Amino acid sequence: MSRVAGLWRYPVKSLRGERVEASEIGQEGLLGDRAFGIVDEETGHVLTARREPRLLFATARWHDGEVEITGPDDAPLDSDDALSRWLERPVRLARAGADGGVYENPQDSERETDWVAWQGPGGAWHDSGTTRVSLVSTGTLGAWAPERFRSNVLIEGDGEDGLVGRQVRLGSVTLDVTGRVGRCVMVTRAQPGLEVDRDVLRSVHRERGGELAIGALVVEPGTVAVGDRLTPPA
């Protein structure tokens, strides 16, 4: 079966994350993944790059249960005041909790209009309660950079869509693959090394029904490393 070609965690929702060689995976996903979010003090919404594209130009790193954030110029953004000055609005860094966050998405992704707010699930700052670990294959991505889609696990080969509804073993972790991951305007956003590209989302809608990558819940926690196999449970 396929092997793990890459691992990413994103300690702050919508910020750039870090590529890692190995990670623990618990019920909330990779250790530290989506553990923090940036909350707009005026609306109470968790900011994402859908609404605030500048987020993709800051980087978050997980360190001993806390997060270190650097801005586009590599200067530390180590306080709510620093984040607020950078984003030119009052914000605060919030740790994920049981209540979940409120997010926004434009109904019209081309014109980015008709924004709708919705309540996200509790736990790590994921948009969906049926995804705690996301996986995508090199074959599915093709020429697209994996950073556009922000999946946790890059798998060699292709065919991950066929795993939906099954349990799989990843390193010492057992995952329940719940479905394909719907995509939004965020995959079109610029970030370091990548320009704005609206054709990405158009292609995903045209060729894949708006879905790319698979989402999974954690059945049995454990560890995973680059090079580990993805196999059905014994």
Cβ–Cβ < 8 Å for 198, 206: no
Cβ–Cβ < 8 Å for 21, 34: no
pLDDT for residue 74: 94
Domain edges within the chain: 4-231
pLDDT digits (tens, 9 = 90+) for 159-194: 999 999 999 999 999 999 999 999 999 999 999 999
The domain covering 4-231 belongs, at the CATH homologous superfamily level, to PK beta-barrel domain-like (2.40.33.20)
pLDDT digits (tens, 9 = 90+) for 68-95: 999 999 999 999 999 999 999 999 999 9
Spatial distance between the Cα atoms of 201 and 212, rounded to a whole number of angstroms: 10
Residue 36 has a CB neighbour count (10 Å cut-off) of: 23
Confidence tier at 1 by pLDDT (50, 70, 90)? low
Spatial distance between the Cα atoms of 201 and 176, rounded to a whole number of angstroms: 27
Spatial distance between the Cα atoms of 198 and 213, rounded to a whole number of angstroms: 18
89, exposed or middle or buried, with CB in 10 Å at 0-12, 13-18, 19+? middle
